[in-house]
Amino acid sequence: DTGVSQDPRHKITKRGQNVTFRCDPISEHNRLYWYRQTLGQGPEFLTYFQNEAQLEKSRLLSDRFSAERPKGSFSTLEIQRTEQGDSAMYLCASADRDRGRREQFFGPGTRLTVL
Amino acid sequence: QKEVEQNSGPLSVPEGAIASLNCTYSDRGSQSFFWYRQYSGKSPELIMSIYSNGDKEDGRFTAQLNKASQYVSLLIRDSQPSDSATYLCAVNVLGNQFYFGTGTSLTVIP
């Protein structure tokens, strides 16, 4: 396993711009999760996929956020019309639920700064 | 009420001592429990998972779960300066969402 990878690692954008992040999960992991983490807080759940199906979204998730996992492999998270409050670390995690394993393994994260 | 509560610390222990980290959760339907370590500026790293009441040991780490009290803890024996980090407790409810605590900051003093 090469681990979960995320790209880019850092993103600086101006308020109102759109940004897109990519996550490549551990090979053959069928579950993929997106979280947001701000300083001094734990990761906050955003959404998750079982293969290509998006099964759950946080009620706190603005409609400016959208996520896809078109072929059940990598996933993208897009934020439209970014706001300064979107500045955070965006974390992706994957899990191998086919084997009944619930442990999640995190990628290195994408740090977003909205100016 | 938050789903998962942790004392934010900071917790300081001398090198070689036992560090004890605690976590409580609110949902009695919680099924799985995890401890993650997070170094400053890095992503969380899985340390332990525990699913049933009792103790689970892995090297210097022991996770303890008491579902009746809705309590999970992590003991770190022979603490090392490299253990200095924030420790996150995570709870999995109904196999879907994971809820994380805010983390406890641990400093191991040489």
3-state secondary structure labels for all residues of A15-68: CCCCEEEEEECCCCCCEEEEEEECCCCCCEEEEEEECCEEEEECCCCCCCEEEE
Q: How many helices (H) and strands (E) does chain A have?
A: 0, 11
**Is it the case that residue A98 has pLDDT exceeding 70?**
no
pLDDT tens per residue across span A48-82: 999 999 998 888 788 999 999 998 899 999 999 99
> Along the 110 residues of chain B, how does pLDDT read in single tens digits?
678 999 888 999 999 999 999 999 998 888 899 999 999 999 999 999 999 999 999 999 999 999 999 999 999 999 999 999 999 999 988 767 789 999 999 999 99
| Alpha helices (H) along chain B | none
Closest CA to B75 of B59, B96, B91: B59
Residues of B in contact with A33 (CB under 8 A): 98
By mean pLDDT, which of A13-17, A28-32, A84-88, B62-66 is the weakest? A28-32
Q: Which of B38, B39, B48, B98 would you mutate first to test chain A, the one with the most A CBs within 10 A?
A: B98
CA-based nearest distance B51→chain A, Å: 10
- Between chains, do B4 and A42 touch, taking CB under 8 Å as contact? yes
| Identity of the amino acid at B104 | T
CA-based nearest distance B55→chain A, Å: 18
Q: How far apart are CA B56 and CA B33, in angstroms?
A: 12
Q: How far apart are CA B65 and CA A81, in angstroms?
A: 43
Q: Which of B3, B4, B31, B43 would you mutate first to test chain A, the one with the most A CBs within 10 A?
A: B43
- Residue tagged 């393994």 (tokens): A105
Q: How confident is the model at residue A100 (pLDDT cuts 50, 70, 90)?
A: low
Distances A23 to A27, A44, B30, B64, B79 between C-alpha atoms, Å? 12, 17, 27, 33, 34
Q: What is the pLDDT of residue B95?
A: 61
